[in-house]
Amino acid sequence: MSKGVTPKSEDYARWYTDVITKAEMADYGPVKGTMVIRPYGFSVWDSIKDAFDSRFKETGHVNAYFPLFIPKSFLSKEADHVEGFAKECAVVTHSRLKSAADGGVVVDPESKLEEEVIVRPTSETVIWSMYKKWINSYRDLPLLINQWANVVRWEMRTRLFLRTSEFLWQEGHTAHASEKEAVDETLKILDIYKEVAESVLAIPVLTGLKSEAERFAGAVDTYCIEAMMGDKRALQAGTSHYLGQNFAKAFDVKFQNENNREELVYATSWGVSTRLVGALIMVHGDDKGLRLPPQVAPNQVVIIPIIKTEEDLKTIEDYVIPFTTALKNSGIRFQIDSRLKMSPGFKFNEWEMKGVPIRVEVGPRDMENKTLFCARRDTGEKQPIALDDAPKKIETMLEEIQSNMFNQALQFREKNTFNINDYDAFKTQIASGGFIRCGWDGDPASEAQIKNDTKATIRCILADGKTKNLTCVYSGKPAKHEVIYAKAY
């Protein structure tokens, strides 16, 4: 293994996989397209998960678990839904293997299943088949269920965290008595997504509606949070769907309202996935490796003793006890890297690769001066701090790093977002990347033509878009929406 990572500027895709493997976030699984999330990466995912989970619970949602296997027939109940997922489903056709003549194993043809089952690519269908049993009256509504699970989508092209055959996510599935309530729910979740992305992951996101072409298969409206990655491409970081009565119709889920009349249930579904870990890497990482926002960093502080012998280590450990005790009391996650065989320089580089927000060096010089030597991962700034103030300073610094990383990402996005209303200028700009904010006449044909010409798609129809005096960048007709166009992952 070579020392550093491929520079971002040289080959962004290689930089990305280098960072992931060298920071020990993840590794390739034995089956093509699969990924092993290693402990360090999983710890980041755990933090992300906790941030969402607590907010879901605060807003009245409960967790449950639905089966991995779905009857094949379920997928055909909603026409758009099948269209969207049928081509990437893993199908279980047999239940047994048997020994083969060559010493290996083969599928036992006698174990062929009567009814084949699919491995869930998403759970709307199983969940709605159950909701049919559980919902009878308006008193059973709203039903606000979330599940944390794995799903399988048999993609041809995969990339660690961004698109893998199997991934982890949360999927919320709610049922409501009225359209308004369901739409409100859809937007409430969108808000949570934005809040967590920005305040926890330090990733600025745009929110808005998807165009029909980009909409979730089976949804009436798909809302999204959309982020700009370090190569100026867009990544859909989360989606919240208003499903209308589509799934209620498909699974015949009706309730009796207060007037004793039967009505179809209104639905939402929403999800974020381990893809967010990929976003975190691409938004914040640099040529030294990962940069993790303090809120999701497995270690917020790493302490590196500068030592010659095992006795030196003991002395330093004693010296930092007041400091580490204070960190512990304020709930700051830290680690003392006391490995004797590695040189300090090696450790500096390793922890920088792993994105630890603050490195604290402690050596003889510090003990003499009653200081600690402190280095920030986000800015590279280094300074000695007095041992007595250290815990407070560190706490403040972590907050600064968190907001600084958000601001850096925001500035990057702003700098690479362009208001354009001329199609030639559009094409030139798209070729060199970035987000383009422009008018759209609302015609799927103009969207399709732009995609064909440039590979750019509408990332979102801006919720706060202004269409006054705005014309469609393609047709020149009056714009129906203000949208963001970009090339996406």
Partner RNA sequence: CGAGGCGUAGCGCAGUUUGGUAGCGCACUGCGUUCGGGACGCAGGGGUCGGAGGUUCAAAUCCUCUCGCCUCGACCA
Q: Which residues bind RNA (CB under 7 A)?
A: 1-4, 32, 84, 87-88, 153, 155-157, 163, 214, 217, 236, 288, 306-309, 340-341, 343-346, 348-350, 352-353, 359, 361-367, 373, 375, 380, 382, 488-489
CB atoms within 10 A of CB 27: 13
Q: Which is nearer to RNA, 11 or 414 (CB)?
A: 11
What are the beta bridge partners of residue 170?
148, 272
DSSP structure class, residue 137? B
- Least distance between RNA and beta carbon 155 (Å): 6
CA torsion angle 417 419 421 427 (round to 10)? -20
- Least distance between RNA and beta carbon 114 (Å): 29
Q: Which is nearer to RNA, 120 or 163 (CB)?
A: 163
Q: Which is nearer to RNA, 47 or 300 (CB)?
A: 300
Q: Which is nearer to RNA, 133 or 341 (CB)?
A: 341
Q: Which is nearer to RNA, 271 or 298 (CB)?
A: 271
- Least distance between RNA and beta carbon 366 (Å): 5
Answer for the pair 232, 433: CB distance below 8 angstroms, yes or no. yes
Closest to 471 in 3D by CA, of 426, 429, 413: 426
SS3 per residue for 445-487 = HHHHHHHHHHCCEEEEEECCCCCCCCEECCCCCECCEEEEEEC
Q: Rounded to whole angstroms, how far apart are CA atoms 466 and 475? A: 18
- Least distance between RNA and beta carbon 157 (Å): 5
Closest to 253 in 3D by CA, of 144, 145, 130, 72: 130
- Least distance between RNA and beta carbon 265 (Å): 25
- Least distance between RNA and beta carbon 421 (Å): 25
- Least distance between RNA and beta carbon 135 (Å): 29
- Least distance between RNA and beta carbon 343 (Å): 3
The kind and range of the H/E element at 278 are helix 275-284
Residue 463, Cα to own-chain centre: how many angstroms? 21
Number of helical H runs and strand E runs in the chain? 14, 25
Q: Which is nearer to RNA, 288 or 480 (CB)?
A: 288
- Least distance between RNA and beta carbon 337 (Å): 11
- Least distance between RNA and beta carbon 130 (Å): 25
Phi-psi region of 293 (alpha: psi -120 to 50; beta: other; left: phi over 0): beta
Q: Which is nearer to RNA, 367 or 462 (CB)?
A: 367
Structure tokens at 239: 């989606």
Per-residue burial over 322-360, b if 16 or more Cβ lie within 10 Å, else e, is: ebbebbeeeebbbebbeeeeeeeeebbebbbbbbbbbbb
Q: Which is nearer to RNA, 135 or 292 (CB)?
A: 292
Answer for the pair 264, 254: CB distance below 8 angstroms, yes or no. yes
Answer for the pair 148, 49: CB distance below 8 angstroms, yes or no. yes
Q: Rounded to whole angstroms, how far apart are CA atoms 277 and 56? A: 19
Q: Which is nearer to RNA, 382 or 392 (CB)?
A: 382
Q: Which is nearer to RNA, 30 or 331 (CB)?
A: 30
Q: Which is nearer to RNA, 384 or 478 (CB)?
A: 384
Answer for the pair 141, 177: CB distance below 8 angstroms, yes or no. yes
- Least distance between RNA and beta carbon 144 (Å): 25
Q: Helix, strand, or coil here: 169?
A: strand
